[in-house]
A = this chain, B = another copy of it.
Amino acid sequence: MHFEETMKSRTALCEEVLRAYLPQADVCAQTLVEAAEYSLMAGGKRLRPLLMETTGRMYGGREELRRPFMAALEMIHTYSLVHDDLPCMDNDEYRRGRKTTHIVYGEGMAVLTGDALLNAAVETALTAFDEVRDSRENAAVIASLRLLMKNAGLQGMIGGQCADLEAEDRPGDVTARTLYYIHRHKTACMIESAFQIGAILAGAPEEDVEALGRIAECTGVAFQIRDDILDVTGDSRELGKTVGSDERDGKTTYVTMHGLDKARRDTEALSEEAMDLLGGLDGVKDREEQAFLMTLVDSLVQRTH
């Protein structure tokens, strides 16, 4: 499997899946439908559905069962970005070179767009029940729904955002534990959903699902530390954002807390652990997909932009 080509065709597949599940509504709510589509179809790496697709294929899962969850996961990711960009949060006017949702549609409509996307994510994931063929699949869809919502909620992504918001107000109070909590919950939890739901729906063995949880944690946290490292050492043009912005904003990052050397060593260690675990998965049915996933995870933690 050629890595770059597979990435390209698989990203295109994710776009197609997302487009198939775009929210619909009565003409009276058309502005919101438009704003939801504007926010969802803004490009991006589609990393989360892509990881879910790959894990699902690795265990020979049925795509009919997986597709609603791929779209749902990306909708949840997108709603969190729409709300994160609001003036009362990060106050960003641009994302990936396009105006953010509240700049185009107004703040009130952007709040509603985020709400609508989270709600639509659940509606979309629930359509997976239409594809269920037996009690094993019924149980897998229920388990996947619970995991999706747990990782997106107070014990997952939203919890991480709360800690992040408080850390910005009181950077002096941020401990190593809080910083790990933020990285783990803001980013790793959604990666966990991608890996574990892909596997659960496919009927992967429990030990593999558990290992994939830890792989997701390592990958997500390493990805975030890498982000902090790039803010210091990266190339502004490649990154698409100003280098050194974290330090100027007085933000506590893995690098300002632990120094560049330790940050690099820890990324390395997390990356190695993820690779070892990925290589040791027992129930894998498609070895080519496993190799692709290893290259993909490696590229995420070694990325230069």
Q: Is the CB of A123 within 8 A of B146?
A: yes
Identify 23 residue pairs between A and B in the complex whose beta-carbon atoms are under 8 Å apart, listed by A's number: A28-B178, A28-B182, A29-B159, A29-B162, A29-B185, A31-B162, A31-B166, A83-B115, A86-B111, A88-B111, A89-B108, A109-B162, A112-B161, A112-B165, A115-B158, A116-B153, A116-B158, A120-B153, A122-B149, A123-B146, A123-B150, A126-B149, A129-B142
1/0 contact string of A95-135 vs chain B (CB within 8 Å): 00000000000111111101110111011001001000000
The 8 Å CB contact of A162, one of B112, B114, B118, B162, is B112
User: Within 8 Å CB of A162, what residues of B?
Assistant: 25, 28-29, 31-32, 109, 112, 116
CB proximity to B under 8 Å, residues A142-191: 142, 145-146, 149-150, 152-155, 158-163, 165-166, 177-178, 181-182, 185
List residues of chain B with CB within 8 A of the CB of A25.
154-155, 159, 162
Q: Please tell me if A26 contacts chain B, counting CB pairs below 8 Å.
A: yes
- How far does the Cβ of A204 sit from chain B's closest Cβ, in whole Å? 21
Interface mask (A58-79 → B, CB under 8 Å = 1, otherwise 0): 0000000000000000000001
A23 within 8 A of B: yes
| CB-based contact A181/B28 at 8 Å | yes
Chain B residues near A129: list those with CB within 8 A.
142
Report the copy number of this chain in the oligomer: 2
Q: Is the CB of A24 closer than 8 A to any CB of chain B?
A: yes
Least distance between A294 CB and chain B CB atoms (Å) = 31
Determine the chain B residues whose CB is within 8 A of the CB of A293 once the complex forms: none
B23, B79, B115, B154: the one within 8 Å of A120 (CB): B154
- Residue pair B83, A119 in contact (C-beta under 8 Å): no
List residues of chain B with CB within 8 A of the CB of A256: none
Residues of A within 8 A of B (CB): 23-26, 28-29, 31-33, 36, 79-80, 83, 86, 88-89, 106-112, 114-116, 118-120, 122-123, 126, 129, 138, 142, 145-146, 149-150, 152-155, 158-163, 165-166, 177-178, 181-182, 185
Q: In the bound complex, how far is the Cα of B150 from the Cα of A106, in angstroms? A: 25
C-alpha spacing A70/B67, complex, angstroms: 30
Q: How far is the CA of A177 from the CA of B26 in the complex (A)?
A: 12
Q: In the bound complex, do residue A159 and residue B119 qualify as a contact, i.e. CB atoms below 8 Å apart? A: no
Most chain B CB within a 10 A radius of its CB, from A89, A108, A120, A146 = A108
A25 to B160, CA, bound (A): 10
Residues of B within 8 A of A185 (CB): 28-29
Q: Let me know if A26 and B88 touch, CB within 8 A.
A: no
Contact in complex: A118, B116 (CB < 8 Å): no
Residues in B neighbouring A120, C-beta threshold 8 A: 153-154
Q: Which residue of B lies closest to A129 (CB)?
A: B142
- In the complex, the answer to whether B86 meets A36 with C-beta atoms within 8 Å is no
Closest to A114 in B: B115
A33 cross-chain contacts in B, Cβ below 8 A? 154
Given A159-B28, A162-B31, A149 contacting B119 (CB threshold 8 A): yes
